[in-house]
């Protein structure tokens, strides 16, 4: 019996060593795929900021498709911010994988990332005909303005 536990112990040890301290393990494979659902993944939330911010590291773990919802709840006077998905190279370098058009007003902005996707009559602002990278983070890139308050949710499907 003890000999059968060694492979499991080895796998757990490798996973514990391989994950960065600030990483969310997978967690991004919600089969319900219901954007704006309170059970979806809150990836980041900021109140009254005027600088670029990154989420924690997320692992796609085989999910090809994702929906991201960027809710700008406050944009006093003026704001200009861009939602980005950054991917991580094997050498540890982060790079911009997709970048949405900058938003300049309060509202709910939904983006879909899926190979072969075609924009229909739904309420998506943008589509990106790419797969979800295996290791990624969400960045709200601050362009200009006074400040912004927002949340970003995500769902894989």
Query: Tell me, what's the pLDDT at 15?
Result: 39
Whether the CA torsion 157, 92, 150, 80 is positive or negative: it is negative
* Average pLDDT value over all residues in the chain: 75
The CATH class that applies to domain 21-156 reads mainly beta
Query: Tell me, what's the pLDDT at 99?
Result: 92
As a whole number, mean pLDDT of residues 48-65 equals 84
Pick the closest to residue 101 from 126, 79, 77 (CA basis).
126
Q: What is the pTM of this model?
A: 0.74
As a whole number, mean pLDDT of residues 28-42 equals 53
* Cβ neighbours, 10 Å, residue 40: 20
Range of weakest confidence among 3-7, 130-134, 146-150:
3-7
**Sheet with 107-113: strands ordered across:** 41-49, 148-156, 66-74, 107-113, 126-128
* Cβ neighbours, 10 Å, residue 51: 10
pLDDT band at 157 (very low <50, low <70, confident <90, very high): confident
Query: Tell me, what's the pLDDT at 13?
Result: 36
**pLDDT higher than 70, residue 11:** no
**Burial, 140: exposed, middle or buried (Cβ in 10 Å; 0-12, 13-18, 19+)?**
buried
Residue showing tokens 């773990």: 61
Range of weakest confidence among 3-7, 68-72, 115-119, 122-126:
3-7
């Amino acid at each position: 019996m003890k000999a059968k536990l060694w492979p499991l112990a080895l796998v757990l040890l490798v996973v514990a060593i391989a994950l960065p301290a600030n990483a969310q393990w997978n967690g991004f494979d919600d089969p319900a795929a219901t954007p704006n659902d309170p059970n979806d993944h809150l990836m980041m939330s900021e109140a009254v900021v005027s600088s670029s911010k990154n989420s924690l590291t997320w692992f796609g773990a085989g999910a090809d498709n994702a929906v991201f919802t960027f809710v700008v709840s406050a944009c006093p006077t003026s704001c200009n911010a861009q939602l980005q998905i950054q991917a991580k190279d094997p050498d540890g370098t982060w790079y911009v994988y997709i970048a949405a058009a900058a938003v300049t007003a309060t509202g709910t902005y939904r983006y879909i990332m899926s190979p072969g996707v075609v924009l229909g009559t739904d309420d998506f602002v943008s589509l990106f005909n790419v797969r979800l990278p295996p290791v990624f983070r969400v960045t709200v890139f601050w362009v200009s303005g006074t400040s912004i308050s927002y949340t970003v949710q995500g769902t894989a499907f």
